[in-house]
Amino acid sequence: MILTFASIFLQFILATLLVLFLIVAGKAAISIVSRICGFAFGGIGDVIRMLAGAIAAVAMVPLILISVMFGRWDRVDYYAIGLRRGGRRLGRAAHSLCVRRPQRLLFLDGVQPGLVHEVPHVPDEGPTDMPSSKKAAGGTPSRGGVSFPGYEVVGTLPPGGSGARLYIASPDERTRASLAGAPPQVVIKSFDLVGGSSLPQIVRESRSLDAARSLGLVLDHRLDERSFWYAMPYHAGDHLGEVVRRAHQGGVDHDGLRGTALRDVLGFEIDLLETLDRYHGQGLWHKDVKPENIIVHDGVAHLVDFGLVTSLRSAMTLTTHGTEYFRDPEMVRMAMQGVKVHEVDGARFDVYGAGAVLYYMLENTFPGHGGLSRFGRPSPEALRWIVRRAMADYDRRYTTAAEMLGDLRFVAAQSDPWAVTPASLPSVAGGVDAESEDAIVDSVASVSSRTPRLRGRRPVATQSRPRLSVVNWWTGAYREDAGRGISTDLRSVISSAPVRETEGPGTASIGAGLFLLMVFTAAVVAFFVAQAWRYDSESLASVDLPATSLTWSWDANAWQLEDAGIGGLHGSTMPTPPPPGDLRGVISLNDHESLDPTEVDQFLDRIEESVVSVGWEPAGGEGLLGGISFQIEAIILAMLYKDGGRSGGPVTQRMIGQLEEKGVGALILVEEDGERDLSATLIRIDGETLFEWRQPAPLD
Amino acid sequence: MNPMTTTFVARLRDRDDTAWFELWTVFGPVIRNQLFRWGRGSVGAATVEDLTQDTLTALSKSIDRFDPTRGARFSTWLLAIAKHVLGDEMDRRHAIKRGRGRRPASLDEAYMGVSYGVTPDEVYERAIFQAKIYAAIRAAQKDSEFLHFEVYRMRVFEGRAGKEVATQLGMSEPTVSRHLRRVRDCIRSHVEDVVTLYSFTDEESAEVDSAGLAGGDDLFDEAICDIYVAHSRVVEDDERRLAER
The predicted-structure confidence for A674-684, as pLDDT tens digits, reads as follows 445 666 777 77
Minimum mean pLDDT range among A107-121, A454-468, B119-133: A454-468
Chain B interface disruption, residue of A364, A566, A676, most B CBs within 10 A: A566
Which residues lie below 8 Å from residue A416, measured CB to CB, with a gap of 6+?
none
Q: Both A143 and A75 in a single domain?
A: no
Which residues lie below 8 Å from residue A556, measured CB to CB, with a gap of 6+?
none
Q: Both A336 and A281 in a single domain?
A: yes
Domain that residue A40 falls in: 26-118
Minimum mean pLDDT range among A146-150, A165-169, A390-394, A462-466: A462-466
Minimum mean pLDDT range among A158-172, A254-268, A452-466, B77-91: A452-466
Q: Residue A388: pLDDT band by 50, 70, 90 thresholds?
A: very high
Of A361-370, A479-488, A493-502, highest mean pLDDT: A361-370
**Chain B residues close to A336, C-beta within 8 Å:** 17-18, 21
Q: Which residue has the higher pLDDT, A15 or A645?
A: A15
Mean pLDDT value across residues A572-594:
65
Chain B nearest C-alpha distance from A569 (Å): 8
> How much is the pLDDT for B152?
95
> How much is the pLDDT for B166?
92
Q: Both A419 and A325 in a single domain?
A: yes
Q: Which residue has the higher pLDDT, B5 or A85?
A: A85
Is residue A572 less than 8 Å (CB to CB) from chain B?
A: yes
Q: Both A653 and A578 in a single domain?
A: yes
Q: Both A267 and A318 in a single domain?
A: yes
> How much is the pLDDT for A444?
46
- Give the sign of the dihedral formed by CA A393, CA A395, CA A401, CA A403: negative
Mean pLDDT value across residues A104-119:
55
Q: Are strands A666-672 and A678-684 parallel, antiparallel or unpaired?
A: antiparallel
Percentage of chain A modeled with pLDDT above 90? 9
> How much is the pLDDT for A462?
37
**Chain B residues close to A366, C-beta within 8 Å:** 239, 243
Q: Do A392 and B146 touch (CB under 8 A)?
A: yes
Q: Both A265 and A143 in a single domain?
A: no
Q: Do A566 and B25 touch (CB under 8 A)?
A: no
Q: Which residue has the higher pLDDT, A79 or A152?
A: A152
**Three-state SS at A407:** helix
Q: How far apart are CA A606 and CA A694, in angstroms?
A: 11
pLDDT of residue A60 exceeding 70: yes
> How much is the pLDDT for A342?
84
- Tens of pLDDT, residue by residue over B54-91, are 777 777 667 776 666 666 677 777 777 666 666 666 66
For chain A, what is the domain count? 4
User: Would A21 be classed as within a structural domain?
Assistant: no
List, run by run, the mean pLDDT of 10-residue segments along chain B (245 residues).
68 74 78 73 66 70 68 70 65 58 52 50 81 91 92 93 91 90 93 82 76 84 91 81 66
3-state secondary structure A671-693: EECCCCCEEEEEEECCCCEEEEE
User: Would A509 be classed as within a structural domain?
Assistant: no
Please say which residue of A183, A210, A233 terminates a domain. A233
Q: Which residue has the higher pLDDT, A261 or A541?
A: A261
pLDDT of residue A294 exceeding 60: yes
- Tens of pLDDT, residue by residue over A306-357, are 777 777 877 777 777 777 778 888 888 788 777 888 888 889 999 999 999 9
User: Would A667 be classed as within a structural domain?
Assistant: yes
Q: Both A215 and A279 in a single domain?
A: no
Percentage of chain A modeled with pLDDT above 70? 58
User: Would A267 be classed as within a structural domain?
Assistant: yes
Q: Do B53 and A568 touch (CB under 8 A)?
A: no
**Chain A residues close to B50, C-beta within 8 Å:** 557
Please say which residue of A392, A421, A436 terminates a domain. A436
Q: Do A369 and B232 touch (CB under 8 A)?
A: yes
User: Would A517 be classed as within a structural domain?
Assistant: no
Is residue B232 less than 8 Å (CB to CB) from chain A?
A: yes
User: Would A372 be classed as within a structural domain?
Assistant: yes
Please tell me which of the candidates B60, B146, B232 has its beta carbon nearest to residue A396: B146
Residue ranges in A534-582 assigned as alpha helix (H): 556-563
Q: Do B170 and A561 touch (CB under 8 A)?
A: no
Of A45-54, A139-148, A302-311, B56-65, highest mean pLDDT: A45-54
Is residue A484 less than 8 Å (CB to CB) from chain B?
A: no
Is residue A564 less than 8 Å (CB to CB) from chain B?
A: yes
Q: How far apart are CA A692 and CA A571, in angstroms?
A: 19
> How much is the pLDDT for A131?
34
Q: What is the CA radius of gyration of chain A?
A: 32
Is residue A252 less than 8 Å (CB to CB) from chain B?
A: no
pLDDT of residue A392 exceeding 80: yes
Q: Both A280 and A227 in a single domain?
A: no
Residue in chain A nearest B239 by alpha carbon: A368
User: Would A361 be classed as within a structural domain?
Assistant: yes
Q: How far apart are CA B242 and CA B245, in angstroms?
A: 5
Render the burial of B131-165: b for 16+ CB within 10 Å, e for the rest. bbbbbbbbbbbbebebebbbbbbbbbbeebebeeb
- Tens of pLDDT, residue by residue over A500-542, are 333 334 434 444 566 677 777 777 766 665 554 443 333 232 2
Q: Which residue has the higher pLDDT, A569 or A77?
A: A77
Q: How far apart are CA A393 and CA A348, in angstroms?
A: 10
Q: How far apart are CA A286 and CA A306, in angstroms?
A: 7
- Give the sign of the dihedral formed by CA A349, CA A355, CA A361, CA A367: negative
Q: Do B57 and A381 touch (CB under 8 A)?
A: no
Residue in chain A nearest B85 by alpha carbon: A557
pLDDT of residue A15 exceeding 70: yes
**Three-state SS at B187:** helix
Please say which residue of A398, A420, A436 terminates a domain. A436
Q: Both A357 and A388 in a single domain?
A: yes
Q: How far apart are CA A34 and CA A28, in angstroms?
A: 9
Q: What is the CATH number of the domain that holds A224?
A: 3.30.200.20
The CATH class of B3-120 is mainly alpha
Q: Do A393 and B243 touch (CB under 8 A)?
A: no
> How much is the pLDDT for A246?
86
Nearest to A36 by CA among A111, A97, A106: A106
Q: Both A319 and A399 in a single domain?
A: yes
Is residue B171 less than 8 Å (CB to CB) from chain A?
A: yes
Q: How far apart are CA A280 and CA A348, in angstroms?
A: 10
Residue in chain B nearest A569 by alpha carbon: B17
> How much is the pLDDT for A116?
41
Q: What is the CATH number of the domain that holds A431?
A: 1.10.510.10
Q: How far apart are CA B221 and CA A471, in angstroms?
A: 56
CA A648 to chain centre: 16
Render the burial of A180-216: b for 16+ CB within 10 Å, e for the rest. eeebebbbbbbbbbebbbbbbbbbbbbbbbbbbbebe
Is residue B172 less than 8 Å (CB to CB) from chain A?
A: no
Q: How far apart are CA B135 and CA B194, in angstroms?
A: 7
Which residues lie below 8 Å from residue A103, measured CB to CB, with a gap of 6+?
A109, A111, A112, A115
Q: Do B17 and A336 touch (CB under 8 A)?
A: yes
Is residue A419 less than 8 Å (CB to CB) from chain B?
A: no
Q: Both A208 and A332 in a single domain?
A: no
> How much is the pLDDT for A273?
94
Q: Both A144 and A65 in a single domain?
A: no
